[in-house]
Structure 1
Amino acid sequence: MTVPPLDPLLWRARLRREIVLRPEVRTAPLAEARDGLLADSVHSPEDVPAQPVAAMDGFAVRRADLAEGTTVLPVAADLPARPGEVAALRPGTAARIMTGAPMPDGADVVVEVESTDADPFGEAPDEVTLRLSHPPAAGRHVRAAGEEVARGALLAEAGDRVGAGLIGLASALGLSTLPVHRALQVSVVVTGDELEEALPGADPSAGVVRESNGTMLAAALRADGAQARVLRSGDDPAELRAVLEDASAGADLVITTGGIGHGAYDVVKLLLGERGARTSEFVHLALRPGGPQGAGALADGTPVIHLPGTPAGALVGYHLFVRPLIPGAGEGLRRVLWREPAEAAGARHGRSAAPGTAHALAARIRLAPDGREIAEPVPGRRLAPYGRAEAIALLGAGSLPVGDAADGPEPTVLVIAL
Structure 2
Amino acid sequence: MSGSSIDVFTWRATVREQVVLVPGCLDLPLGEALGRVLARPVTSPEDIPAVPLSAMDGFAVRRADLHAPGATRLPVVADIPARPGTTPELPDGVAMRIMTGAPVPGGADAVVEVEATDADPFGAVPTEVTITLDALPPKNRHIRGRGEESAHGDLLATTGDRVGVGLIGVARALGIASLPVLARPRVGVVVTGDELATGGHGTIGSHLPGGPVAPDNALPPTSDPAPGMVRESNGLMLTSALEADGAAARAWHTGDDPATLRALLTEIETECDLVLTTGGIGQGAFDVVRAALGDGGVGTSQLVHLALRPGGPQGMGRLPGGTPVIHLPGTPVGALVGYYLFVRQLLPACPGEPRRVLLGEDPGPFTSHRHRRAVLAQPGRLRTTADGAEVVDVLPGRRLTPYARADVLVLREPGAQHGPSAQHGPGADGVPGTDADARGTVRVLPL
**The TM-score by the shorter chain falls in which range?**
over 0.9
Measured at CA, do residues 332 and 405 of structure 1 come closer, stay the same or move farther in structure 2, by a change above 3 Å? closer
The residue aligned with 1:224 is 245
CA deviation vs aligned residue, 1:148-185 (integer Å, no higher than 9, x gap) = 11221111111111122211111111111111111111
Equivalent residues, number: 411
2:443 is equivalent to residue 414 of structure 1: yes
Alignment of 1:13-412 (within 5 A): 13-68=13-68, 69-199=70-200, 200=221, 202-341=223-362, 344-346=363-365, 348-349=366-367, 352-396=369-413, 406=427, 407=432, 411-412=440-441
SS at match of 2:364: helix
SS at match of 1:169: helix
CA deviation vs aligned residue, 1:281-317 (integer Å, no higher than 9, x gap) = 1110000001000011111111111000011110000
SS at match of 1:11: helix
Q: Does structure 2 conserve the Cα–Cα contact (< 8 Å) formed by 1:117 and 1:129?
A: yes
Deviation at 1:204? 2.4
SS at match of 1:366: strand
Q: Does structure 2 conserve the Cα–Cα contact (< 8 Å) formed by 1:231 and 1:247?
A: no
Q: Does structure 1 conserve the Cα–Cα contact (< 8 Å) formed by 2:198 and 2:253?
A: no
Q: Which segment is superposed worse, 6-15 or 162-171?
A: 162-171
The residue aligned with 2:210 is none
What's the TM-score, normalizing by structure 1? 0.94
Give the counterpart letter for 1:28 in structure 2.
L
Measured at CA, do residues 59 and 171 of structure 1 come closer, stay the same or move farther in structure 2, by a change above 3 Å? same
SS at match of 1:249: helix
What's the Cα RMSD here?
1.8
Give the counterpart letter for 2:359 in structure 1.
W
SS at match of 1:5: coil
Give the counterpart letter for 2:391 in structure 1.
I
Q: d(CA) in 2 for partners of 1:126 and 1:387?
A: 70
CA deviation vs aligned residue, 1:9-57 (integer Å, no higher than 9, x gap) = 0000111111111111111121222222110010111111112110001
Give the counterpart letter for 2:373 in structure 1.
G
Give the counterpart letter for 1:295 in structure 2.
M
Give the counterpart letter for 2:64 in structure 1.
A
SS at match of 2:379: strand
Q: d(CA) in 1 for partners of 2:304 and 2:52?
A: 65
Q: Which segment is superposed worse, 264-273 or 323-332?
A: 323-332
Q: Does structure 2 conserve the Cα–Cα contact (< 8 Å) formed by 1:189 and 1:247?
A: no
Deviation at 1:198? 4.1
Q: Does structure 1 conserve the Cα–Cα contact (< 8 Å) formed by 2:15 and 2:342?
A: yes
Q: d(CA) in 2 for partners of 1:196 and 1:374?
A: 39
SS at match of 2:259: helix
Q: d(CA) in 1 for partners of 2:337 and 2:53?
A: 55
What's the TM-score, normalizing by structure 2? 0.88
Where do 4+ consecutive residues of structure 1 move more than 4 Å? Answer: 402-405
Structure 1 unaligned regions, length at least 5: none
Measured at CA, do residues 166 and 405 of structure 1 come closer, stay the same or move farther in structure 2, by a change above 3 Å? closer
SS at match of 1:96: strand
CA deviation vs aligned residue, 1:384-405 (integer Å, no higher than 9, x gap) = 111101111111269xxx9675
Q: d(CA) in 1 for partners of 2:38 and 2:293?
A: 35
Q: d(CA) in 2 for partners of 1:2 and 1:179?
A: 45
CA deviation vs aligned residue, 1:50-73 (integer Å, no higher than 9, x gap) = 121100011000111111221110
